[in-house]
């Protein structure tokens, strides 16, 4: 289905109990693959595998925080060329449902909302608060100009557009969803509009001309019948059928057994309901883009978004894939296309760490530090041309003249390593809010290296996601004053300066943490995918040829990072590890991911999956 003029044909309609497309009955057999979680070089491979599984529709979110990383600066090219991605889907014969947000959830940092919104101390996200309305309006001006040529009526493959995401679980502003609907329609989006909510969120009031769909994993509480009762004589759709689940640090890897999944998918299809598999292929939350949960306890998510989906993180066809392909084949009159060959992977030989550079020496390579009497949260730092700091680490330093009780008052967001004269004495986080500082003579430097471990992506805590130090830190009940603040967001420009720095040392016996550790991977022949194994390391991030692969942490469950072959080159490849607490002496590689201990999501309480 190459892009073609279809303006005279009727697009997706929901005027009866069954969808119609171009005037003919149509069943949506969909799957979610996020272009921003898959290296662009693999878009075609993943979409071909989707087509070969028997799906006819691609769904994808659009992450505002990547497309407008600084207010007024828009990126829609290279990895973020959503128009190229959707056009590729059309070329391969897939229809598309776009989910442009502005909020997307997706286990993605702040649910895809840009952190610079939080510079406004009065900001109310996902409401008609004037500051949010203005920012969304300017973003949609740009976004819709990019996506409008992709609409069905323009000859493109986009047959439906989702209005925001799961607002029924949040609903605190009756005017908000009509505002988002108006944002789309007033800019010329005329395709079928949808909402998407879990069973609990369906209670939110309906909007005229917008079809409700449901998100679920189990057929519990008569959820689909409940949706049918709410919308008589309308087509039924499970917009998110959760094919697996995501992971958080410190817990087991979540799995959803293929046979259990297949039984529910079969029943949904037997009922004549349209379905979208979330996720069909999860991919990776590269860099610092993982989200977090907070239902009373803050839990950051891991880098891998494997999701136990039909296509694995590296694009392998799993047992789920094969079972679904067999099932979906019964809904096609023609044989399904052949499944593309799997990408070859390689377990490269281990490489030794060759050089190191302490955190303290790297400070010369950061932007000019900021001085402030009181602590300043990341978003309000005058970094990045006064757009603030969004991700990574922030170092706060102040002078102290005594030891005693250091109390964070729960103002650390989210985790801080604490140093006195660059000697680590412990950490502060949500659970540990007080440390005993050793007695000192004379003036000493107290340093707090604070990590944004990932902003919450779902729930009521969205407005409280400012990071760094967000209030006073007390020493013996007296607030600390006189801070020097360094931005360590580890963006490409900083990593380039780091690479070219002359301060690297080769004597590993003098290595200290936190610090940067450098190795060289030599690739003979064509580069192949691999997994970086990190069992011997503590906590940090890995950069390969300047690409931030994501975070690792010894508490698991993830002890590896996916390294796509297209990000390697024949010959020498630079690896830089930022390690907080326990460096290894080598980098190891493996052909396959090791997810460690697992837990079956089907055995978890249903309420945890709402």
Q: What is the pLDDT of residues 46-100, one digit of tens each?
A: 999 999 999 999 999 999 999 999 999 999 999 999 999 999 999 999 999 999 9
Q: How far apart are CA 239 and CA 213, in angstroms?
A: 6
Packing angle of the helix pair 43-52, 82-91 (nearest 10 deg) = 40
How far from each other are the two terminal CA atoms of the chain, in whole angstroms?
Answer: 36
* Average predicted confidence (pLDDT) for the chain: 96
CB count in 10 Å sphere of residue 259: 9
| Residue with token string 């309420």 | 607
Q: Are 544 and 573 in contact (CB under 8 A)?
A: yes
Whole-number pLDDT of residue 2: 44
Is the model's pLDDT at 459 over the cut of 50?
yes
Q: How far apart are CA 570 and CA 527, in angstroms?
A: 6
| Residue with token string 């171009």 | 22
The CATH-assigned architecture of domain 351-358+492-590 is Sandwich (2.60)
| Best CA proximity match to 170, nearest among 200, 214, 210 | 200
Topology of the domain comprising 20-329? TIM Barrel (3.20.20)
Biggest alpha carbon distance in the chain? Answer: 83
CB count in 10 Å sphere of residue 57: 25
610 — pLDDT class (breaks 50, 70, 90): very low
Q: What token pair was written down for 306? A: 């494997």
HSE value, Cβ hemisphere, 13 Å, CA-based, for 96? 34
CATH number of 374-481: 2.60.120.260
Q: What token pair was written down for 258? A: 């293929």
Question: Could you list the active site residues?
Answer: 166, 240
Q: For residue range 572-609, list pLDDT tens digits in order.
A: 999 999 999 999 999 999 999 989 899 999 877 644 45
In the chain, CATH 3.20.20.80 covers: 20-329
Planar angle of CA 178, 180, 185, nearest 5 degrees:
90
Q: How far apart are CA 19 and CA 26, in angstroms?
A: 5
200 exposure class (CB count in 10 Å sphere: 0-12, 13-18, 19+): middle
440 — pLDDT class (breaks 50, 70, 90): confident
Q: How far apart are CA 63 and CA 69, in angstroms?
A: 10
Q: How far apart are CA 44 and CA 51, in angstroms?
A: 10
8 — pLDDT class (breaks 50, 70, 90): low
CB count in 10 Å sphere of residue 149: 14
Q: How far apart are CA 497 and CA 465, in angstroms?
A: 30
Q: How far apart are CA 453 and CA 290, in angstroms?
A: 8
Q: What token pair was written down for 285? A: 């939350």
Is the model's pLDDT at 1 over the cut of 80?
no
In the chain, CATH 2.60.120.260 covers: 351-358+492-590, 374-481
Q: Are 55 and 97 in contact (CB under 8 A)?
A: no
CB count in 10 Å sphere of residue 38: 26
Q: How far apart are CA 230 and CA 251, in angstroms?
A: 38
Q: How far apart are CA 391 and CA 413, in angstroms?
A: 12
Q: Please give the average per-residue pLDDT across 281-310, as a whole number.
A: 97
Neighbouring-strand partners of residue 505: 356
Backbone angles phi, psi at 122, to 5 degrees: -100, 5
- DSSP 8-class letter at 351: E
Pairing of strands 24-25, 29-33: unpaired
Q: Are 239 and 275 in contact (CB under 8 A)?
A: no
Q: How far apart are CA 440 and CA 17, in angstroms?
A: 75
Q: For residue range 187-243, list pLDDT tens digits in order.
A: 999 999 999 999 889 988 889 999 999 999 999 878 999 999 999 999 999 999 999
| Best CA proximity match to 323, nearest among 382, 258, 381, 371 | 258
- DSSP string computed for 87-125: HHHHHTT-EEEEE--S---TTBGGGG--GGGGGSTT--T
Is the model's pLDDT at 7 over the cut of 60?
no
Q: For residue range 261-293, list pLDDT tens digits in order.
A: 999 999 999 999 999 999 999 999 999 999 999
The H-assigned helical ranges of 231-352 are 258-270, 319-329
Whole-number pLDDT of residue 608: 47
470 — pLDDT class (breaks 50, 70, 90): very high
Q: For residue range 538-579, list pLDDT tens digits in order.
A: 999 999 999 999 999 999 999 999 999 999 999 999 999 999
Q: pTM to 2 decimals?
A: 0.97
- Residues composing the chain: 610
Whole-number pLDDT of residue 607: 43
Positive/negative CA dihedral, 264, 269, 275, 276? positive
Q: How far apart are CA 215 and CA 241, in angstroms?
A: 6
| Best CA proximity match to 100, nearest among 181, 217, 215, 199 | 181
Q: What token pair was written down for 459? A: 């729930």
Is the model's pLDDT at 158 over the cut of 60?
yes
Whole-number pLDDT of residue 3: 47
- Report the side by side order of strands in the sheet with 560-563: 351-352, 586-590, 530-533, 560-563
The fraction of the chain above a pLDDT of 70, given in percent, is 98
């Amino acid at each position: 289905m190459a892009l073609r003029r279809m303006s005279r044909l009727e697009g997706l309609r929901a005027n009866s109990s069954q969808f119609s497309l171009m005037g003919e009955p149509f069943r949506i057999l969909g799957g979610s693959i996020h272009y921003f979680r898959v290296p662009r070089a693999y878009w075609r491979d993943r979409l071909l595998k989707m087509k070969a599984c028997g799906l006819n529709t691609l769904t994808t979110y659009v992450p505002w925080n990547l497309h407008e990383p600084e207010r007024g600066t828009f990126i829609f090219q290279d990895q973020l060329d959503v128009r190229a991605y959707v056009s590729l889907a059309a070329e391969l014969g897939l229809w598309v449902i776009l989910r442009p947000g502005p909020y997307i959830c997706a286990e993605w940092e702040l649910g895809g909302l840009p952190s610079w919104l939080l510079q406004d101390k009065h900001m109310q996200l996902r409401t008609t608060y004037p500051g949010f309305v203005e920012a969304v309006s300017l973003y949609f001006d740009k976004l819709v100009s990019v996506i409008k040529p992709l609409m069905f009526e323009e000859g493109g493959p986009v047959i439906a557009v989702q209005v925001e995401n799961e607002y029924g679980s949040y609903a605190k502003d009756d005017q908000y969803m009509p505002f988002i609907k108006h944002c789309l329609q007033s800019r010329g989006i005329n395709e079928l509009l949808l909402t998407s909510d879990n069973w609990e969120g369906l209670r939110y009031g309906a909007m005229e001309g917008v079809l409700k769909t449901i998100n679920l994993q189990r057929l519990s509480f008569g959820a689909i019948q409940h949706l049918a009762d709410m919308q008589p004589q309308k087509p039924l759709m499970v917009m998110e059928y959760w094919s697996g689940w995501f992971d958080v640090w410190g817990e087991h890897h979540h799995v959803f057994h293929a046979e259990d999944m297949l039984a529910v998918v079969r029943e949904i299809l037997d009922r004549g309901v349209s379905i979208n598999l979330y996720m069909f292929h999860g991919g990776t939350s590269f860099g610092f883009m993982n989200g977090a949960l907070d239902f009373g306890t803050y839990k950051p998510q891991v880098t891998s978004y494997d999701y136990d989906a039909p296509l694995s993180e590296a694009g392998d066809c799993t047992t789920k894939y094969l079972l679904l392909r067999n099932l979906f084949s019964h809904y096609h009159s023609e044989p399904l296309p052949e499944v593309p060959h799997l990408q070859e992977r390689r377990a490269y030989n281990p490489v030794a760490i060759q050089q190191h550079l302490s955190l303290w020496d790297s400070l010369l390579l950061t932007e000019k530090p900021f001085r402030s009497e009181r602590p300043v949260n990341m978003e309000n730092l005058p970094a990045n041309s006064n757009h603030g700091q969004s991700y990574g680490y922030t170092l706060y330093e102040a002078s102290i003249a005594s030891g005693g009780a250091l109390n964070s008052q729960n103002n650390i967001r989210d985790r801080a390593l604490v140093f006195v004269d660059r000697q680590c004495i412990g950490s502060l986080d949500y659970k540990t809010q007080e440390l005993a500082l050793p007695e000192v003579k004379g003036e000493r430097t107290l340093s707090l290296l604070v990590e944004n471990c990932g902003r919450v992506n779902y729930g009521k805590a969205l407005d409280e996601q400012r990071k760094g130090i967000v209030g006073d830190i007390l020493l013996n009940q007296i607030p600390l004053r006189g801070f020097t603040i360094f931005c360590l967001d580890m963006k490409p420009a900083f990593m380039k300066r780091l690479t070219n720095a002359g301060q690297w040392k080769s004597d590993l016996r003098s290595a200290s943490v936190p610090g940067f550790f450098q190795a060289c991977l030599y690739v003979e022949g064509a580069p192949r995918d691999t997994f970086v194994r990190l069992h011997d390391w503590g906590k940090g991030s890995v950069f390969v040829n300047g690409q931030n692969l994501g975070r690792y942490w010894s508490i698991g469950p993830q002890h590896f990072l996916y390294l796509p072959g297209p990000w390697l080159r024949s010959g020498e490849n630079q690896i830089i590890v930022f390690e907080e607490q326990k460096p290894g002496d080598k980098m190891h590689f493996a052909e396959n991911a090791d997810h460690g201990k697992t837990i079956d999501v089907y055995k978890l309480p249903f309420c945890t999956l709402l």
